[in-house]
C-alpha cells in the first residue's frame, strides 16, 4: 500500500506555507482529524473551490493505512524514492540556491535542476496569483477541446499515427532550434498541414517557451486542441494552464508520485482537460498502468536525465505492456527523436497511435510542409 505521504501534491501545496513558516522540512503535516473529518463531512464530489484537504479526503485511495504511514515521519523524498523516483525536491522555495545545495548537494541531473527551479517559480507564481484567482479564471475560460478524441479521429482517418506537433523554440539538449520563431505562424502551418493537436512549450528558462505563446496560439483561431508542455509539480500550474487556454497537460511520471498523478488526473477531469502521462522506463510504465483513469500515455524516447534518445525504448516498453495497454483502451503517444517516415513506421509498428514531434519539424524552413516529409504523405483532418 502506498503512503499518503507519497503525495507531493500535499507537499507542494504546503511547501510554500511551510517555507513561510520557517520550516526546513518537506513534510508539513495537516492534522489527521482534518482529513478524516473532511472525508466524513463531504462524501460527495469536490468542486473546484474545495480545499486540497477536502479534495484529497474524498479520494478513494485515502484510507487508514495510508494515514498511518503518513504519520510515520518519513520524508517525502524517501517516499518518492520508494516508488523508484530519482528526482528529489528541495521544498524550500524561498531559500537561495547556495543554501539548497548545502543541504542536498548539486542537482544530480538536468531534470532535477529543472524541477528545483520550478519549485521556486511556482512559489513565486502563487505569490503573484493566488490559486483562488486562477480557479476563477479557469472556470471562465472557453470550454476545452477534446485532445484525446482528436488523436483518435486522426489516427482512424489517416492510418498513420496522429500528429501532436510541437511549438518549440529551444531545448537544453539541442540549444536554439529556430532563430526566427513565430509561434502563431508555426501553429497555423502545423494545423493547415494535418496536425491533430499542438503542443506548446511554456517553460521559459530551459525551452524558451512561454504562457504568452500558449495564449497567443489559442487566440489566433487555431482549432486544434492544445497541450501545455510544462513540468507540472503543483495543481496551481494546471489551473494556470487552463486559464490560458490549454486543453491538455503533461504529467511526467519521473517527477510525480502515484498519488500526485491521481490527484492531478482528478483536477484535469474536473476541468475537462486531458492528461498525457509521460513515462520513460519500465518502472514508470508499471506504476502508471496501475493508476485508474489514465487514458493517454506518452513514451518518451529521450531520457530527461541524460538526453540519450533511443526509439527502441517505445518498442521495448510496448512489447512488454502492449496487451494490458490495449485491454485498458489506453492510447499511446511515441515521443521525441522522430525524423523520417521510417521512424514513424517503426513506432507505429510498435503500437503507438500518435506521435509527438518537435525538432524535426520546427528546424525546417517550412514546418508545415515538413509534416508531409515526416509521414511520407499528406495528412488530412
Ligand atoms: O523535439 P523532439 O525530439 O521531436 O521531441 C518532442 C517532445 O517529445 C519533447 O519536446 C519532450 C517530450 N517530453 C518532454 C518533457 C519536457 C520537455 C520536452 C519534452
pLDDT tens sequence across 24-59:
334 433 333 233 222 323 333 434 444 444 444 444
Atom 7 of ligand 1, residue of closest alpha carbon = 336
The number of the ligand 1 atom at minimal distance from the alpha carbon of 337 is 3
Band (72; pLDDT cuts 50, 70, 90): low
Average pLDDT over residues 274-291: 98
Q: Work out the average pLDDT over 305-328.
A: 96
**Tens digits of residue pLDDT in 211-251:** 999 999 999 999 999 999 999 999 999 999 999 999 999 99
Q: What pLDDT score was predicted for residue 85? A: 97
Show the DSSP H helices in 24-167 as ranges.
32-41, 52-57, 64-70, 76-82, 97-104, 110-128, 131-140, 147-158
What's the mean pLDDT in 322-335?
97
Average pLDDT over residues 318-344: 97
Among 26, 32, 84, residue whose Cα is nearest residue 63? 32
Q: Is 220 a catalytic residue?
A: no
User: Rounded CA gap, 200 and 213, in Å?
Assistant: 7
Mean of pLDDT values over 140-164: 98
- Active-site residue, 3 included: no
- State how far the Cα of 358 lies from the Cα of 136, in Å rounded to an integer: 32
Q: Is the pLDDT of residue 81 over 50?
A: yes
Ligand 1: list residues with CB < 6 Å: 166, 168, 229, 278, 300, 335-338, 356-360
- Supply the pLDDT for residue 195: 98
| 336 is a catalytic site residue | yes
pLDDT attached to residue 233:
97
Residue 166 annotated in active site = yes
pLDDT at 74: 75
For range 179-183, the mean pLDDT: 97
**Cβ-contact 72, 96 below 8 angstroms:** no
**Best mean pLDDT range from 18-22, 65-69, 263-267:** 263-267
Catalytic residue among 168, 216, 244, 262: 168
Q: How far is the CA of 100 from the centre of ligand 1 (A)?
A: 28
Q: Report helix, strand and coil shares of the chain as percent, to nearest 5.
A: 50, 10, 40
Atom of ligand 1 nearest to the CA of 335: 8
Give the distance, in angstroms, between the CA of residue 165 and the centroid of all CA atoms in the same chain: 16
- Percent of the chain's residues with pLDDT above 70: 81
Question: What ipTM does the predicted assembly reach?
Answer: 0.99
73 has pLDDT over 80: no
Which of 92-101, 124-133, 148-157, 222-231 is predicted with the least confidence, judged by mean pLDDT?
92-101
Task: Read off the pLDDT band of 71 (50, 70, 90).
Answer: low
Q: Which residue has the higher pLDDT, 126 or 12?
A: 126
The residue annotated as part of the active site, out of 336, 353, 359, 360, is 336
Phi, psi dihedrals of residue 203, rounded to the nearest 5°: -70, 125
Q: Are 83 and 287 in contact (CB under 8 A)?
A: yes
Kindly report the pTM of this predicted structure: 0.85
- How far apart are the C-alpha atoms of 126 and 70, rounded to whole Å? 26
Residue whose grid cell is 530527461: 304
Verify whether residue 335 is a known catalytic residue: yes
Amino acid at each position: 500500500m502506498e503512503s499518503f505521504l507519497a503525495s507531493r501534491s500535499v507537499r507542494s501545496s504546503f511547501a510554500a506555507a511551510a517555507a513561510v513558516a520557517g520550516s526546513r522540512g518537506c513534510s508539513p503535516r495537516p492534522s489527521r482529524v482534518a482529513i478524516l473529518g473532511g472525508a466524513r463531512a463531504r462524501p460527495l464530489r469536490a468542486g473546484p473551490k474545495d480545499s486540497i484537504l477536502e479534495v484529497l479526503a474524498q479520494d478513494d485511495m485515502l484510507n487508514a493505512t495510508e494515514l498511518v504511514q503518513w504519520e510515520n515521519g518519513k520524508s517525502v523524498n524517501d517516499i518518492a524514492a520508494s516508488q523508484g523516483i530519482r528526482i528529489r525536491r528541495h521544498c524550500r522555495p524561498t531559500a537561495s540556491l547556495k543554501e539548497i545545495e548545502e543541504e542536498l548537494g548539486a542537482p544530480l541531473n538536468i531534470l532535477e535542476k529543472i524541477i528545483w527551479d520550478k519549485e521556486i517559480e511556482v512559489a513565486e507564481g502563487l505569490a503573484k496569483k493566488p490559486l483562488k484567482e486562477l480557479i476563477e479564471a479557469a472556470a471562465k475560460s472557453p470550454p476545452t477541446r477534446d485532445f484525446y478524441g482528436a488523436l483518435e479521429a486522426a489516427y482512424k482517418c489517416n492510418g498513420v499515427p496522429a500528429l501532436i506537433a510541437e511549438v518549440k523554440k529551444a531545448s537544453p539538449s539541442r540549444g536554439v532550434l529556430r532563430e526566427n520563431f513565430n509561434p502563431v505562424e508555426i501553429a497555423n502551418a502545423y494545423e493547415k498541414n494535418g496536425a491533430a493537436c499542438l503542443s506548446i512549450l511554456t517553460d521559459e528558462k530551459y525551452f524558451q517557451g512561454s504562457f504568452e505563446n500558449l495564449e497567443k496560439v489559442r487566440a489566433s483561431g487555431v482549432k486544434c486542441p492544445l497541450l501545455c508542455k510544462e513540468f507540472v509539480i503543483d495543481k496551481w500550474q494546471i489551473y494556470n494552464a487552463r486559464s490560458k487556454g490549454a486543453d491538455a497537460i503533461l504529467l511526467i511520471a519521473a517527477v510525480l508520485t502515484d498519488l500526485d498523478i491521481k490527484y492531478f488526473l482528478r483536477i484535469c477531469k474536473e476541468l475537462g482537460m486531458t492528461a498525457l502521462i509521460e513515462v520513460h522506463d519500465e518502472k514508470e510504465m508499471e506504476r502508471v498502468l496501475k493508476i485508474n483513469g489514465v487514458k493517454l500515455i506518452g513514451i518518451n524516447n529521450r531520457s530527461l536525465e541524460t538526453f540519450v534518445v533511443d526509439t527502441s525504448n517505445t518498442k521495448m516498453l510496448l512489447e512488454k505492456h502492449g496487451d494490458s495497454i490495449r485491454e485498458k483502451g489506453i492510447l499511446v503517444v511515441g515521443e521525441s527523436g522522430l525524423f523520417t517516415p521510417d521512424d514513424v513506421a517503426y513506432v507505429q509498428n510498435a503500437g503507438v497511435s500518435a506521435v509527438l514531434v518537435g525538432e524535426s519539424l520546427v528546424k525546417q524552413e517550412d514546418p508545415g510542409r515538413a509534416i508531409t516529409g515526416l509521414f511520407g504523405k499528406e495528412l488530412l483532418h
